[in-house]
Amino acid sequence: MPTFIKRILGLVVVVVLLVVMNAFMSREGLFGFGLPYYYAEIINLTGISIILASSLNLITGFTGQFSIGHAGFMAVGAYSSVFMTVYFSEGLEQWLTGLLGATLAQSIVFLAVIIFGALIAALAGLVVGIPSLRLRGDYLAIVTLGFAEIIRIIILNIDRVGGATGFRGRVPPWDGRQIIPQYANFIWIGGFAVITIVVVYNIVKSDTGRALISIREDELAAEAMGINTTRYKVMAFVISSAFAGIAGALFGHFRQFLHTNDFQFIRSIEIIIMIVLGGMGSITGAVLGAIVITILPELLRKLPGDLYSYRLVIYSALLIVIMLTRPQGVMGAKEFGLSWLKRPQRRPEGDKPAGEKGVPIAQQPATAVIDQGKEIEQGKEHA
Protein backbone atom coordinates (compact mmCIF):
# COMPACT_ATOMS: atom_id res chain seq x y z
CA MET A 1 0.00 0.00 0.00
CA PRO A 2 1.45 3.34 -0.90
CA THR A 3 2.55 5.34 2.13
CA PHE A 4 0.13 8.15 1.75
CA ILE A 5 -2.84 5.81 1.71
CA LYS A 6 -1.45 4.25 4.85
CA ARG A 7 -1.19 7.68 6.38
CA ILE A 8 -4.72 8.65 5.48
CA LEU A 9 -6.03 5.38 6.84
CA GLY A 10 -4.10 5.99 10.03
CA LEU A 11 -5.60 9.44 10.28
CA VAL A 12 -9.12 8.09 9.80
CA VAL A 13 -8.58 5.44 12.45
CA VAL A 14 -7.30 7.99 14.91
CA VAL A 15 -10.19 10.37 14.27
CA VAL A 16 -12.77 7.61 14.62
CA LEU A 17 -11.17 6.46 17.86
CA LEU A 18 -11.21 9.97 19.24
CA VAL A 19 -14.84 10.54 18.35
CA VAL A 20 -15.90 7.25 19.85
CA MET A 21 -13.92 7.82 23.01
CA ASN A 22 -15.30 11.28 23.30
CA ALA A 23 -18.86 10.11 22.99
CA PHE A 24 -18.13 7.48 25.56
CA MET A 25 -16.86 10.08 27.98
CA SER A 26 -19.61 12.59 27.40
CA ARG A 27 -22.81 13.22 29.27
CA GLU A 28 -25.00 11.08 27.09
CA GLY A 29 -22.56 8.26 26.75
CA LEU A 30 -22.39 5.71 24.02
CA PHE A 31 -25.56 3.66 23.81
CA GLY A 32 -26.34 4.61 27.36
CA PHE A 33 -22.97 3.65 28.76
CA GLY A 34 -20.30 6.06 29.68
CA LEU A 35 -17.06 6.39 31.51
CA PRO A 36 -17.42 7.79 35.03
CA TYR A 37 -16.85 11.53 34.83
CA TYR A 38 -13.97 11.29 37.21
CA TYR A 39 -12.10 8.95 34.90
CA ALA A 40 -13.02 11.02 31.90
CA GLU A 41 -11.55 14.04 33.58
CA ILE A 42 -8.35 12.24 34.42
CA ILE A 43 -8.01 11.03 30.85
CA ASN A 44 -8.45 14.54 29.53
CA LEU A 45 -5.91 15.92 31.98
CA THR A 46 -3.53 13.16 30.97
CA GLY A 47 -3.90 14.19 27.36
CA ILE A 48 -2.89 17.73 28.27
CA SER A 49 0.05 16.39 30.27
CA ILE A 50 1.17 14.39 27.26
CA ILE A 51 1.32 17.53 25.19
CA LEU A 52 3.32 19.28 27.91
CA ALA A 53 5.70 16.42 28.45
CA SER A 54 6.33 15.84 24.76
CA SER A 55 7.00 19.48 24.10
CA LEU A 56 9.33 19.80 27.06
CA ASN A 57 11.06 16.67 25.89
CA LEU A 58 11.92 18.39 22.65
CA ILE A 59 13.90 21.14 24.32
CA THR A 60 15.14 19.36 27.43
CA GLY A 61 15.32 15.74 26.40
CA PHE A 62 16.47 16.01 22.84
CA THR A 63 18.31 19.30 22.82
CA GLY A 64 19.64 19.02 26.33
CA GLN A 65 18.55 22.50 27.41
CA PHE A 66 17.24 22.35 30.89
CA SER A 67 14.07 24.43 31.08
CA ILE A 68 12.11 24.45 34.32
CA GLY A 69 9.74 27.22 33.36
CA HIS A 70 7.41 25.29 31.12
CA ALA A 71 4.39 26.12 33.23
CA GLY A 72 4.97 29.76 32.39
CA PHE A 73 4.43 29.17 28.68
CA MET A 74 1.42 27.05 29.43
CA ALA A 75 0.05 29.99 31.41
CA VAL A 76 0.72 32.39 28.57
CA GLY A 77 -1.10 30.16 26.09
CA ALA A 78 -3.96 29.55 28.48
CA TYR A 79 -4.57 33.15 29.42
CA SER A 80 -4.14 34.62 25.97
CA SER A 81 -6.46 32.14 24.30
CA VAL A 82 -9.11 32.38 26.99
CA PHE A 83 -8.82 36.15 26.92
CA MET A 84 -9.66 36.03 23.24
CA THR A 85 -12.57 33.69 23.75
CA VAL A 86 -14.10 35.67 26.56
CA TYR A 87 -13.71 39.15 25.20
CA PHE A 88 -13.53 38.99 21.46
CA SER A 89 -15.01 35.83 20.11
CA GLU A 90 -18.68 36.00 20.85
CA GLY A 91 -19.63 38.10 17.89
CA LEU A 92 -17.58 36.05 15.51
CA GLU A 93 -19.05 32.84 16.75
CA GLN A 94 -22.59 34.07 16.34
CA TRP A 95 -21.92 35.21 12.81
CA LEU A 96 -20.36 31.89 11.91
CA THR A 97 -23.17 29.98 13.52
CA GLY A 98 -25.55 31.70 11.21
CA LEU A 99 -23.44 30.63 8.25
CA LEU A 100 -22.25 27.19 9.18
CA GLY A 101 -24.13 25.94 12.16
CA ALA A 102 -23.11 25.81 15.79
CA THR A 103 -20.62 22.94 15.91
CA LEU A 104 -18.58 24.09 12.97
CA ALA A 105 -18.63 27.66 14.18
CA GLN A 106 -17.43 26.65 17.62
CA SER A 107 -14.70 24.52 16.17
CA ILE A 108 -13.44 27.29 13.98
CA VAL A 109 -13.44 29.79 16.80
CA PHE A 110 -11.74 27.36 19.12
CA LEU A 111 -9.08 26.51 16.58
CA ALA A 112 -8.48 30.18 16.04
CA VAL A 113 -7.97 30.94 19.71
CA ILE A 114 -5.77 27.90 20.17
CA ILE A 115 -3.54 29.09 17.37
CA PHE A 116 -3.54 32.53 18.89
CA GLY A 117 -2.53 31.12 22.25
CA ALA A 118 0.20 29.08 20.62
CA LEU A 119 1.56 32.10 18.81
CA ILE A 120 1.68 34.23 21.91
CA ALA A 121 3.36 31.43 23.80
CA ALA A 122 5.83 31.03 20.98
CA LEU A 123 6.52 34.74 21.15
CA ALA A 124 7.13 34.42 24.87
CA GLY A 125 9.44 31.53 24.11
CA LEU A 126 11.35 33.73 21.74
CA VAL A 127 11.64 36.54 24.25
CA VAL A 128 12.81 34.19 26.96
CA GLY A 129 14.90 31.99 24.74
CA ILE A 130 17.05 34.44 22.90
CA PRO A 131 18.85 35.83 25.93
CA SER A 132 18.79 32.66 27.98
CA LEU A 133 19.91 30.04 25.56
CA ARG A 134 23.37 31.49 25.48
CA LEU A 135 23.76 30.26 29.03
CA ARG A 136 25.02 26.99 30.27
CA GLY A 137 22.75 24.32 31.69
CA ASP A 138 22.42 25.25 35.33
CA TYR A 139 22.05 28.95 34.72
CA LEU A 140 19.50 28.35 32.02
CA ALA A 141 17.45 26.38 34.51
CA ILE A 142 17.36 29.22 37.00
CA VAL A 143 16.66 31.82 34.36
CA THR A 144 13.74 29.87 32.92
CA LEU A 145 12.44 29.47 36.44
CA GLY A 146 12.78 33.18 36.96
CA PHE A 147 10.97 34.02 33.75
CA ALA A 148 8.12 31.69 34.61
CA GLU A 149 7.77 33.42 37.96
CA ILE A 150 7.84 36.85 36.36
CA ILE A 151 5.18 35.79 33.87
CA ARG A 152 3.06 34.54 36.73
CA ILE A 153 3.46 37.75 38.71
CA ILE A 154 2.58 39.84 35.67
CA ILE A 155 -0.58 37.83 35.00
CA LEU A 156 -1.50 38.10 38.66
CA ASN A 157 -1.46 41.85 38.24
CA ILE A 158 -3.78 42.01 35.25
CA ASP A 159 -7.28 42.55 36.55
CA ARG A 160 -8.93 41.96 33.23
CA VAL A 161 -7.98 38.31 33.41
CA GLY A 162 -9.08 37.88 36.97
CA GLY A 163 -5.98 38.72 38.95
CA ALA A 164 -5.88 36.89 42.24
CA THR A 165 -9.50 35.78 42.01
CA GLY A 166 -9.15 33.71 38.90
CA PHE A 167 -10.52 33.92 35.41
CA ARG A 168 -13.97 32.51 35.03
CA GLY A 169 -15.49 34.82 32.52
CA ARG A 170 -15.72 38.50 31.85
CA VAL A 171 -14.56 40.85 34.54
CA PRO A 172 -16.74 43.91 34.96
CA PRO A 173 -16.59 46.60 33.71
CA TRP A 174 -15.36 44.96 30.53
CA ASP A 175 -17.86 43.25 28.32
CA GLY A 176 -17.68 39.69 27.20
CA ARG A 177 -18.87 36.19 27.89
CA GLN A 178 -20.06 35.40 31.38
CA ILE A 179 -18.43 32.02 31.45
CA ILE A 180 -15.60 30.44 29.51
CA PRO A 181 -17.32 27.99 27.17
CA GLN A 182 -16.22 24.40 27.35
CA TYR A 183 -14.86 23.98 23.89
CA ALA A 184 -12.26 21.41 24.75
CA ASN A 185 -13.30 17.80 24.77
CA PHE A 186 -11.44 14.59 24.19
CA ILE A 187 -11.51 14.99 20.44
CA TRP A 188 -9.55 18.20 20.69
CA ILE A 189 -7.28 17.14 23.52
CA GLY A 190 -6.59 13.69 22.16
CA GLY A 191 -6.21 15.09 18.70
CA PHE A 192 -3.63 17.63 19.74
CA ALA A 193 -1.83 15.06 21.82
CA VAL A 194 -1.46 12.93 18.73
CA ILE A 195 -0.41 15.95 16.69
CA THR A 196 2.23 16.90 19.25
CA ILE A 197 3.68 13.43 19.32
CA VAL A 198 3.75 13.22 15.54
CA VAL A 199 5.36 16.63 15.18
CA VAL A 200 8.02 15.93 17.78
CA TYR A 201 8.70 12.56 16.25
CA ASN A 202 9.10 14.05 12.81
CA ILE A 203 11.39 16.77 14.05
CA VAL A 204 13.54 14.29 15.89
CA LYS A 205 13.83 12.00 12.93
CA SER A 206 14.78 14.77 10.57
CA ASP A 207 18.06 16.52 10.02
CA THR A 208 16.97 19.17 12.44
CA GLY A 209 16.55 16.46 15.02
CA ARG A 210 20.05 15.26 14.50
CA ALA A 211 21.33 18.75 14.91
CA LEU A 212 19.43 19.05 18.18
CA ILE A 213 20.73 15.76 19.46
CA SER A 214 24.23 16.73 18.52
CA ILE A 215 23.83 19.92 20.52
CA ARG A 216 22.81 17.83 23.47
CA GLU A 217 25.72 15.48 23.12
CA ASP A 218 28.46 18.01 22.79
CA GLU A 219 27.61 21.56 22.05
CA LEU A 220 31.11 22.69 21.28
CA ALA A 221 31.69 19.87 18.87
CA ALA A 222 28.41 20.62 17.16
CA GLU A 223 29.37 24.25 16.85
CA ALA A 224 32.69 23.20 15.48
CA MET A 225 30.91 21.08 12.92
CA GLY A 226 29.19 24.15 11.62
CA ILE A 227 25.82 23.84 13.29
CA ASN A 228 24.42 27.16 14.36
CA THR A 229 23.63 26.00 17.85
CA THR A 230 21.92 29.17 19.00
CA ARG A 231 19.55 29.11 16.07
CA TYR A 232 18.59 25.49 16.64
CA LYS A 233 18.24 25.92 20.35
CA VAL A 234 15.98 28.92 19.98
CA MET A 235 13.93 27.13 17.37
CA ALA A 236 13.40 24.10 19.60
CA PHE A 237 12.57 26.39 22.49
CA VAL A 238 10.00 28.32 20.49
CA ILE A 239 8.35 25.18 19.16
CA SER A 240 8.17 23.65 22.59
CA SER A 241 6.73 26.83 24.05
CA ALA A 242 4.13 26.95 21.31
CA PHE A 243 2.95 23.46 22.20
CA ALA A 244 2.92 24.35 25.85
CA GLY A 245 0.69 27.23 24.83
CA ILE A 246 -1.62 24.84 23.03
CA ALA A 247 -1.78 22.69 26.13
CA GLY A 248 -2.63 25.77 28.13
CA ALA A 249 -5.38 26.80 25.73
CA LEU A 250 -6.91 23.33 25.90
CA PHE A 251 -6.61 23.37 29.66
CA GLY A 252 -8.35 26.70 29.98
CA HIS A 253 -11.26 25.69 27.80
CA PHE A 254 -11.57 22.38 29.55
CA ARG A 255 -11.50 23.61 33.12
CA GLN A 256 -13.38 26.79 32.30
CA PHE A 257 -11.37 28.45 35.04
CA LEU A 258 -7.86 29.82 35.17
CA HIS A 259 -5.82 30.81 38.16
CA THR A 260 -2.10 31.44 38.45
CA ASN A 261 -1.93 28.97 41.33
CA ASP A 262 -2.20 26.23 38.71
CA PHE A 263 0.94 27.44 36.98
CA GLN A 264 3.42 27.63 39.79
CA PHE A 265 6.92 26.25 39.97
CA ILE A 266 5.63 22.89 41.18
CA ARG A 267 3.78 22.47 37.88
CA SER A 268 6.98 22.89 35.91
CA ILE A 269 8.64 20.39 38.19
CA GLU A 270 5.83 17.91 37.62
CA ILE A 271 6.44 18.07 33.90
CA ILE A 272 10.16 17.59 34.45
CA ILE A 273 9.45 14.56 36.58
CA MET A 274 7.34 13.17 33.75
CA ILE A 275 10.14 13.19 31.25
CA VAL A 276 12.75 12.17 33.78
CA LEU A 277 10.69 9.19 34.78
CA GLY A 278 9.92 8.22 31.23
CA GLY A 279 13.37 8.86 29.92
CA MET A 280 14.53 12.12 28.46
CA GLY A 281 15.04 11.77 24.78
CA SER A 282 12.38 9.14 24.38
CA ILE A 283 9.03 10.05 22.93
CA THR A 284 7.23 7.05 24.32
CA GLY A 285 9.00 7.73 27.57
CA ALA A 286 7.50 11.18 27.76
CA VAL A 287 4.02 9.81 27.08
CA LEU A 288 4.50 7.10 29.66
CA GLY A 289 5.79 9.56 32.20
CA ALA A 290 2.88 11.90 31.58
CA ILE A 291 0.37 9.11 32.08
CA VAL A 292 2.00 7.84 35.27
CA ILE A 293 2.50 11.21 36.89
CA THR A 294 -1.03 12.36 36.14
CA ILE A 295 -2.65 9.20 37.36
CA LEU A 296 -0.36 8.45 40.29
CA PRO A 297 -1.68 11.18 42.63
CA GLU A 298 -5.20 9.96 42.02
CA LEU A 299 -4.22 6.42 42.88
CA LEU A 300 -2.38 7.59 45.95
CA ARG A 301 -5.59 9.09 47.27
CA LYS A 302 -6.63 5.64 48.23
CA LEU A 303 -3.82 5.42 50.74
CA PRO A 304 -4.80 5.07 54.37
CA GLY A 305 -5.01 8.24 56.39
CA ASP A 306 -1.52 8.77 57.68
CA LEU A 307 0.27 7.69 54.57
CA TYR A 308 -1.95 10.00 52.56
CA SER A 309 -0.31 13.08 53.97
CA TYR A 310 3.06 11.76 52.87
CA ARG A 311 2.03 11.69 49.22
CA LEU A 312 4.26 14.52 48.17
CA VAL A 313 7.10 13.01 50.12
CA ILE A 314 6.65 9.84 48.11
CA TYR A 315 6.75 11.90 44.94
CA SER A 316 10.05 13.54 45.78
CA ALA A 317 11.51 10.31 47.06
CA LEU A 318 10.53 8.74 43.76
CA LEU A 319 12.47 11.38 41.91
CA ILE A 320 15.55 10.79 44.03
CA VAL A 321 15.33 7.04 43.71
CA ILE A 322 15.05 7.27 39.94
CA MET A 323 18.11 9.48 39.83
CA LEU A 324 20.04 7.10 41.99
CA THR A 325 19.11 3.90 40.29
CA ARG A 326 18.12 4.62 36.74
CA PRO A 327 18.78 8.19 35.75
CA GLN A 328 17.99 7.53 32.16
CA GLY A 329 14.41 6.87 33.09
CA VAL A 330 12.23 3.92 32.30
CA MET A 331 12.67 3.99 28.58
CA GLY A 332 16.19 5.32 28.60
CA ALA A 333 16.50 6.94 25.26
CA LYS A 334 14.75 4.15 23.46
CA GLU A 335 11.36 4.04 21.96
CA PHE A 336 8.68 1.51 22.52
CA GLY A 337 9.14 -1.51 20.45
CA LEU A 338 9.78 -5.17 20.86
CA SER A 339 13.50 -4.70 20.67
CA TRP A 340 13.74 -4.28 24.42
CA LEU A 341 13.38 -7.99 24.49
CA LYS A 342 16.56 -8.35 22.53
CA ARG A 343 19.77 -8.43 24.41
CA PRO A 344 21.41 -5.05 24.65
CA GLN A 345 24.18 -4.42 22.20
CA ARG A 346 27.65 -5.08 23.40
CA ARG A 347 30.58 -2.91 22.67
CA PRO A 348 33.45 -4.81 21.09
CA GLU A 349 35.99 -3.41 23.53
CA GLY A 350 34.44 -4.23 26.83
CA ASP A 351 31.95 -6.49 28.49
CA LYS A 352 29.54 -4.02 29.95
CA PRO A 353 26.79 -2.81 27.65
CA ALA A 354 27.19 0.84 26.95
CA GLY A 355 24.83 3.28 28.49
CA GLU A 356 23.77 1.01 31.31
CA LYS A 357 24.10 2.03 34.91
CA GLY A 358 27.52 1.38 36.28
CA VAL A 359 29.49 2.77 33.42
CA PRO A 360 30.62 6.26 34.24
CA ILE A 361 29.46 8.63 31.62
CA ALA A 362 31.25 11.90 31.38
CA GLN A 363 28.67 14.01 29.70
CA GLN A 364 25.26 12.61 28.95
CA PRO A 365 23.41 9.34 29.05
CA ALA A 366 23.63 7.10 26.04
CA THR A 367 22.03 8.17 22.85
CA ALA A 368 19.94 5.99 20.70
CA VAL A 369 19.57 6.75 17.10
CA ILE A 370 16.25 5.52 15.92
CA ASP A 371 16.51 4.06 12.54
CA GLN A 372 13.45 2.29 11.23
CA GLY A 373 12.77 0.42 14.38
CA LYS A 374 16.22 -0.95 14.91
CA GLU A 375 18.25 0.39 17.71
CA ILE A 376 21.86 1.22 17.63
CA GLU A 377 23.21 2.15 20.96
CA GLN A 378 26.08 4.44 21.08
CA GLY A 379 27.67 4.92 24.40
CA LYS A 380 30.23 7.49 25.33
CA GLU A 381 33.66 6.86 26.62
CA HIS A 382 34.74 8.16 29.94
CA ALA A 383 36.80 11.20 29.04
Partner 1 sequence: MKRTLFALFLITTLLIGFACERRGNGANGGGTGPILVGYYGDLSGRTSSFGQSTKNGVEMAADEINKAGGINGRTVQIITEDDQGEPNKAATVVTKLINQDKVQALLGEVASSNSLAAAPKAQEAKVPMISPSSTNPAVTQVGDYIFRVCFIDPFQGEVMAKFSANNLKAKRAAILYDFNSDYSRGLYQFFKRSFTSLGGQIVSEQSYTQGDRDFSGQLTAIRAVNPDVIYVPGYYGEVGVISNQTKQLGIKAPLLGGDGWDAPQLWQLGGASLNGNYISNHYSVDDPSPAIQKFVADYKARYNILPDALAALGYDSMKVLGDAIKRAGSTENTKLRDAIAQTKDFPGVTGKISIDKDRNAVKPAVVLKLENSKFVYETTIYPEGATPPVTSAAPASGTTTAGPAGAAAPAKAASPTN
Partner 2 sequence: MDTFVQQLINGLNVGAIYALIALGYTMVYGILRLINFAHGDVYMVGAFAGYFIALSLGLAAGPSLLSLTFILVASMIIAAIVGMLIERFAYRPVRKYSRMTTLIMAIGVSLLIENLFVARIGAAPRAFPDFLGSQSQPPYHLFGNAAISKAQIIIFLVSIALMLLLQWIVFRTKVGTAMRAVSFNLNSAKLMGINTDAIISLTFAIGSALAAAGGVLTAQYNPNIDPLMGILTGLKAFVAAVLGGIGNIPGAVLGGLLIGAAETFVVGYGYHIGIASTYRDAVAFAILILVLLLRPSGLLGSTVQEKV
Binding site for partner 1 (CB under 8 A): 24, 27-29, 32-39, 41-42, 45, 156-157, 163-166, 168, 251, 255-257, 259, 261-262, 264, 298, 301, 308-309, 311-312, 336-338, 373
In this structure, the number of other CB atoms found within 10 A of the CB of residue 376 comes to 10
Question: How far is Cα 66 from Cα 288, in angstroms, rounded to an integer?
Answer: 20
CB of 379 to partner 2, least distance (A): 13
Question: How far is Cα 293 from Cα 273, in angstroms, rounded to an integer?
Answer: 8
The residue among 37 and 308 lying less far from partner 2, judged by its C-beta, is 308
192 contacts 250 by C-beta, under 8 angstroms: yes
Site string for partner 2, 158-197 (x = CB under 8 A): ----------------------------------------
Question: How far is Cα 87 from Cα 120, in angstroms, rounded to an integer?
Answer: 16
The residue among 2 and 32 lying less far from partner 1, judged by its C-beta, is 32
CB of 159 to partner 2, least distance (A): 12
Q: Any contact of residue 150 with partner 2 (CB under 8 A)? A: yes
205 contacts 121 by C-beta, under 8 angstroms: no
The number of C-alpha atoms within 13 Å of 318 and in the hemisphere containing its C-beta is 20
Candidates 98, 101, 137, 166: give the one binding partner 2 (CB under 8 A).
137
Candidates 315, 345, 353, 356: give the one binding partner 2 (CB under 8 A).
315
In this structure, the number of other CB atoms found within 10 A of the CB of residue 64 comes to 22
Q: 246: closest CA among 349, 112, 101? A: 112
Question: How far is Cα 189 from Cα 254, in angstroms, rounded to an integer?
Answer: 9
The residue among 201 and 257 lying less far from partner 1, judged by its C-beta, is 257
165, interface contact from partner 2, partner 1, none, CB < 5-8 Å by kind: partner 1
Q: Any contact of residue 319 with partner 2 (CB under 8 A)? A: yes
369, interface contact from partner 2, partner 1, none, CB < 5-8 Å by kind: none
